Amino acid sequence: MPPHDCHGVAMVMVLLLAGTILSMGCTRLEADLEDIILFHTTPMDVCTPESSLPHHGSAMLFAEAERQLAGMTRSTYTHDTSVDEENGTYEYDCSGFVGYALSRADPCTFRVLLHERPNAAQFYYHLEKFTDVPGKGAWMRVATPLELLPGDIIVWLKPDDSDAKSTGHIMVVAGKPERNPLREGEILVRVIDSTTSGHADDTRASGQTGLGKGTIGIMTDQSGLPIGYFWRGGESKILQETEMAFARIA
């Protein structure tokens, strides 16, 4: 790209970000410009790790997750994130998906996590620190599964008796939680995630891995607090007891 084209892109960025100083190449400028126009509404110069400005981040995260689903032509579960937006190819694991979606939907909120590529356990230990009042990056805890809204995040740690190599699992809420009338204490939640196997009523075909939408079950105690999960909500017979956290971006 000729130097004057790069200067032109930089001028557009200067106007959009009200004088923010940028020092990056033309290709990076164009990619960041697209992200800011499409997915980022809070000016970067006021969105810092200490900021508690309203981001409406959960709504933006839900829209981004749905966008990826709608544009997907191929997806594979893998620990190495590789995304080709033009061809609709999304290759990542559960935390890779959430991290990539967050970095597009609300990059300042993602910055608060202080990891370039957090895994599920690192997400958990970050999210469980937040309170029910919006804090850094507008993150806040959600106490019970019945309070979850589309775009909220669910993360759980790997159960103690599991031989899985992952540290846990993380997903984006995709619908209003409902009580399972056939199993007392179970809350059915529609989610979007990247997995090696589908949930109940899943959009992934049998044997397909990667990005998709399905229903999990969250088992609660008498106070409505989570005690474990059913991978296939309403169908799985064995309860996986573990720690989990729910979070919202205000």
Q: What is the pLDDT of residues 26-76, one digit of tens each?
A: 223 233 323 332 333 444 444 554 554 566 889 999 999 999 999 999 999
Tokens standing for residue 18: 């009200």
More confident residue, 250 or 236: 236
Summary mean pLDDT of the chain: 82
Domain ranges of the chain: 3-39, 57-249
Per-residue pLDDT at 98: 96
CA-based torsion, 83, 89, 94, 98: positive or negative? positive
Using CA atoms, how far apart are residues 220 and 226, in angstroms rounded to an integer? 4
More confident residue, 37 or 160: 160
Q: Which residues of 208-244 are buried (b: 16+ CB within 10 A; e: fewer)?
A: bbbbbbbbbbbbbeeeeebebbbbbbbebeebbebbb
**pLDDT for residue 23 is more than 80:** no
Q: Are 88 and 210 in contact (CB under 8 A)?
A: no
Alpha helices in the chain (DSSP H): 3-16, 26-39, 57-71, 94-105, 107-111, 120-127
Task: Give the mean pLDDT of 115-141.
Answer: 89
Kindly report the pTM of this predicted structure: 0.80
169-182: pLDDT as tens digits:
999 999 999 999 99
231 sits in which H/E element: none
DSSP letter, residue 159:
P
Tokens standing for residue 136: 């850094």
